[in-house]
Structure 1
Amino acid sequence: MRKHWQEPFLWIHAAGILVFPLWIGLTVIGLATGDPLFPVGVEQALVAVAGIVPIFVMQWRKPFNIFSLLVVSIAPDDLTPEQRRILAAFLSPEQKILTVLAAILMLEVCERLYDFAPLFAPLTPSHGTRIAGLVMAALGFWGANLFLQIPVSVARVLLLSEPELAQIEPIPTHQIESQFSVVGSQRTQLLQRLLSWLPLPSQEPEVALAESGSASSVPTHSTPSHPESTAPPETASETPVDPA
């Protein structure tokens, strides 16, 4: 197992892709609500711009700081060099390319969702207005972009090999807030309590064997046993000499 795979924040944000279909569903319900109010191209553009542009700009200029959960984040001074190296990996040109590709994909998704939206009209509120539907669709598409862009960028970091990650210089602590979008208050102790409930990956067999080998190689001092009594050495028996 790669060392950075033991970082729980990477897996937490990669798992965000699981809620991507829920946001897509919200988008479809919004597009299916009410009768069209504007031309097709205008409504598609409104939803696409509201959903894609904010997340694209964030990931392009100041990527999301993955060392945060909901409304709390780890303070920059409390990040380890390995964690700051992981953060620096999100600033690579490859990440920007993935950001562009994900945005282009979501443009195509928006067009397809608009075409299929009438099929979901029975699931919409009976008295829903088109304006409310477009707002719902924009919100859903914003969430869909957020939970696609971040997992995609995290997946690329997870696929890095250990030598590739080791070549990246850790980002300086004072540059984190200017280079990354930090969400929520910085409460490291609260995050540590939350992460303590997560199962940590087990050690690799090689590491466990190395540790057991090092433990067994520690010299032990044994005290020599002293017998309670020691038998004296045998002496040659003297033979009596007969007097002449």
Structure 2
Amino acid sequence: MRSHWQEPFLWIHAAGILAFPLWVGLTLIGLATGDPLLPVGVEQAWVAVVGIAPVFAMQWRKPFDIFSLLVASVPPEELTPDQRRILAAFLSPEHKILTLLAAILMLEIGERLYDFAPLFASLTPGNGTRLAGLAVAAFGFWGANLFLQIPLAAIRVLLLSEPELAQLDPIPAEEIESRFSVVGDRHIPLLQRLLRHLSEGDLKKPGDKVKGSQGNEVAGDPRPESQKRDPSAEVALPAPETPLDPT
């Protein structure tokens, strides 16, 4: 197994693709709300620009830092060299090509969603206005882009071979905040430590040896309990007396 496959942050963000259909559904409900107010091309352009442009600009200029989540982020100075190599993969030309292709795909999807939106009219509120519907559609399309672009980028890194990843230079810790979009609160120590331990693989396995009170490793005694002796119950035998010299 590739070593970077043990990085939980990559899998967490790759799994975000599962939320993509939910955001698409929200977009459809927004487009189905109310009667058309503006020309079709204008409404499509509004939803496309608001939904695609911010996410595309972020991934193109300052890719999302996958070691940050909405609830917590790992400080750059605490990232390992291997983790900073993973970040370097998001600055490669291949990442930009994938970002562009994903944006073009979402343009095509947005056009198709407008055609299918009337089928979802029964799910919309009866008193909803078209302007409110377009706002909901734009927000849903933004979420759909976000949960497509970031998971696709994480999946691409997962598919890299170890030699490809090893030849990348780690991003200096002091440059991460200026070259990546970092979100999340760093002041949640419990969650932060959990994420760090998962990332570094420091969680203790069930078969690990237990350390004694002096810090020495104590291996388990393979003998059954009935054969083990309690050192405190042992009685020291007196030393044999030296016989007197008859001379």
- TM-score, L = length of structure 2: 0.78
- The match for 1:148 is 148
- 1:88 aligned partner: 88
Q: What are the equivalent positions in structure 2 for 1:14-93 lying under 5 Å apart?
A: 14-93=14-93
CA distance in structure 2 between the partners assigned to 1:173 and 1:105 by the alignment: 34
Q: Distance in 2 between matches of 1:197 and 1:66?
A: 14
2-side partners of 1:185 and 1:134: how far apart?
32
1:29–1:120 Cα contact (<8 Å) kept: yes
Q: 177-186 or 90-99: which moved more?
A: 177-186
How far is 1:186 from its partner? Answer: 2.2
Quickly say closer, same or farther: Cα 1:195–1:31, change in 2 above 3 A: farther
Cα distance in 2 between the residues matched to 1:105 and 1:16 = 18
Matched, 1:181 2:181: yes
Counterparts of 2:188 and 2:165, CA distance in 1: 24
Structure 1 counterpart of 2:110? 110
Partners of 2:40 and 2:114 in 1: CA distance: 8
Matched to 2:45, the amino acid is A
Distance 2:58 2:33 in 1: 29
Classify the secondary structure of the residue corresponding to 2:160.
coil
* Paired position in structure 2 for 1:159: 159
Cα deviation for residue 68 of structure 1 reads 1.1
For 1:194 and 1:164, locate their aligned partners in 2 and report how far apart those are by CA, in whole Å.
Answer: 25
Mapped contact 2:65–2:87 kept (Cα < 8 A): yes
Task: Tell me the amino acid that sits aligned with residue 21 of structure 2.
Answer: P
Cα distance, 1:118 vs. partner? Answer: 0.5
Structure 1 stretches lacking a partner, 5+ long: 203-244
User: For residues 174 and 165 of structure 2, what CA distance do their matches in structure 1 show?
Assistant: 21
SS, match of residue 74 in structure 1: coil
Partners of 1:170 and 1:55 in 2: how far apart? 25
- What is the identity percentage for the equivalent residue pairs of Structure 1 and Structure 2? 74
Report the Cα offset of residue 191 of structure 1: 2.2
Structure 2: unaligned runs, 5 residues or longer: 204-247
1:126 partner letter = G
Cα deviation for residue 112 of structure 1 reads 0.1
Q: Alpha-carbon deviation of 1:70?
A: 1.1
Residues of 1 paired with 2:102 and 2:198: CA distance? 33
Q: How far has the Cα of 1:93 moved from its partner?
A: 0.2
Q: For 1:22 and 1:109, locate their aligned partners in 2 and report how far apart those are by CA, in whole Å.
A: 14
Residue type at the aligned position of 2:33: T
Larger radius of gyration: 1
Task: Name the aligned partner's letter for residue 32 of structure 1.
Answer: A
- String of CA shifts for 1:65-118, please: whole Å, max 9, x gaps: 000111321101000001001000100000000000000000000000000000
Whole-Å Cα distance in 2 between the matches of residues 67 and 11 of structure 1? 11
What does residue 215 of structure 1 align with? none
Q: Distance in 1 between matches of 2:195 and 2:95?
A: 29
Task: Name the count of aligned residue pairs.
Answer: 200
SS in 1 for 2:168: coil
Q: CA RMSD in A?
A: 1.7
